[in-house]
Amino acid sequence: MRSDNVKTGVEHAPHRSLFNALGFTEEEMKKPMIGIVSSYNEIVPGHMNIDKIVNAVKLGVAEAGGVPVVFPAIAVCDGIAMGHVGMKYSLVTRDLIADSTECMALAHQFDGLVMVPNCDKNVPGLLMAAARINIPTVFVSGGPMLAGHVKGQKRSLSSMFEAVGAHAAGTMTEEDVCEFEQKVCPTCGSCSGMYTANSMNCLTEALGMGLRGNGTIPAVYSERLKLAKHAGMKVMEMLEKNIRPRDIMTKEAILNALTVDMALGCSTNSMLHLPAIAHEIGFDFDISFANPISEKTPNLCHLAPAGPTYMEDLNEAGGVYAVMKELADIGLLNLDCMTVTGKTVGENIKNAVNLNPEVIRPVDNPYSKTGGLAVLKGNLAPDGSVVKRSAVVPEMMVHEGPARVFDSEEDAIAAIKGGKIVAGDVVVIRYEGPKGGPGMREMLNPTSAIAGMGLGSSVALITDGRFSGASRGASIGHVSPEAAVGGPIALVKEGDIISINIPEMKLDLKVSDEELAKRKAEWKPIDKGEVTGYLARYRELVTSGNRGAVLEIK
């Protein structure tokens, strides 16, 4: 056992004295030590129940003959951090989480790990850590929130942000906004649509790192406590069989996850996180991989914000395994990939059944024949940009219009809510990329304001920042290279015509090469003021959005 490095032999008597201080018995000293990474806190709704999940994991580990030891991981609530300086501190936590978990696991020589994440950067950060540490590891999340109910309709957090936009447009009263406020987030859990947290929890199943139901069993269901106990038991089985994360998270598994992503209609943020996870196993993931996979993968689900169904509906319809079975039946998945169950993907999903063909469309009746995401390239995004095309209305799949240029999210929101954006416009928000933000803020406030103002089917938004999974419409993010390094998005001028063609995967600025070269020669980066602390270090090390915004030493 790895933990023998701190528990066995006379030379480790000092270490054992510290375990004695922890209350370890002689019997426990002889058993495998399993670290349980608890993301519990009292500020994130998706994490307020994780203490109960952790306790269930501890029971499962102990029942299977291990010694559970809990240590923490941080998590930011993207909804609370949205629309102000706090959003600069969201994406950057992914790497803090990975780094701190690596430190704790290796410093204390755990034999195995159970990761208990839930929200947006917490899940990929712990997946990155699992790949680095490479000891037997199982994931069990805190689970999704139940949908809210407002005026007889299911609703979620994206409805809340759009209600604010509707109020600004004068189409919703303050009393109605208050009703939304009280009802859209009715329980603990990760917000109830196919937003980033739920996307990544579902993809944890597709990667093979979580047990069946990890992505979809609601947070408030007792079934999730059973899942947590089984996760604790399963890590002990993995330890016995020596199945490790890098045996599971292979190149083939990551491409499986990308395929499932396309079918589910996941958040565009998965195109930041899958490359970052791939980076940890030495797989150079180019976001352009998305297009050939998207071209052959049908989009089977339209969960909020793309449609009227929610995570609880996906769970009742058979969950991620039912989606994977649909894809496997037409040969789109590698079925030989190993998983935390000790079985292959093919063995896991062979008996999965689609219980609701309206929630999970069969492959012969998809929402679209192509996947939920697309990577657009052109002279405005030479290294790529990402759009959730499954959440774009048909009339905006091809669009051309004048650029309305803003150098910060705040300036754009003021213009949108002030009625200065009109049908046909293309809103450009720049200097919000990984370096330019720094921190690559999510743009849920401006996308929701556009939708709430009734412009969702006539106005596009382009940014070198990123979008919440709750964003919908012609929202194109991760434009690379970003403005802060002199990418073409920095050269756009007010009124320039921008051409968007999602079916052809093109994003172009209708300005001549000669004019762009002239603007480039005259370009100077915008000074956003001094950046200090962790953000300053992050800005120095972070790569572009098309590479997953991973940190690299120059």
**Distance between CA 213 and CA 218 in Å, rounded?**
9
Q: Are 68 and 113 in contact (CB under 8 A)?
A: no
**Distance between CA 343 and CA 212 in Å, rounded?**
12
CB atoms within 10 A of CB 291: 17
Three-state secondary structure along 222-233?
A: HHHHHHHHHHHH
Q: Rounded to an integer, what is the distance from CA 72 to the centroid of its chain?
A: 20
Q: Which residues pair with 506 in a beta bridge?
A: 377, 501
Q: Any idea how long the chain is?
A: 554
Give yes or no: 408 in active site.
no
| Alpha-carbon separation of residue 212 from 60, 189, 259, 352 (angstroms) | 16, 18, 18, 10
Q: Which segments of 39-173 does DSSP mark as H helices, in order?
A: 50-63, 78-81, 93-107, 122-133, 157-168
Q: Which segments of 108-250 does DSSP mark as H helices, in order?
A: 122-133, 157-168, 174-183, 196-207, 222-241, 245-248
Pairing relation of β-strands 148-150 and 137-139?
Answer: unpaired
Nearest-5° angle of CA 197, CA 94, CA 546? 85
Residue 408 phi, psi dihedral angles, 5° rounding: -160, 160
Q: 72: phi > 0 → left, psi -120 to 50 → alpha, else beta; which?
A: beta
Closest CA to 147 of 263, 313, 266: 313
Cβ neighbours of residue 239 under 8 Å, at least 6 residues apart?
Answer: 32, 34, 66, 111, 112, 136
Residue 67 phi, psi dihedral angles, 5° rounding: -110, 110
Q: Which residues pair with 309 in a beta bridge?
A: 303
| Alpha-carbon separation of residue 243 from 204, 208, 235, 337, 380 (angstroms) | 16, 12, 9, 12, 44
Computed on alpha carbons and rounded to an integer, the radius of gyration of the chain in Å comes to 23
Q: Are 237 and 217 in contact (CB under 8 A)?
A: no
Write down the catalytic residue from 158, 199, 267, 468.
468
Q: Could you give the residue numbers annotated as active site?
A: 468
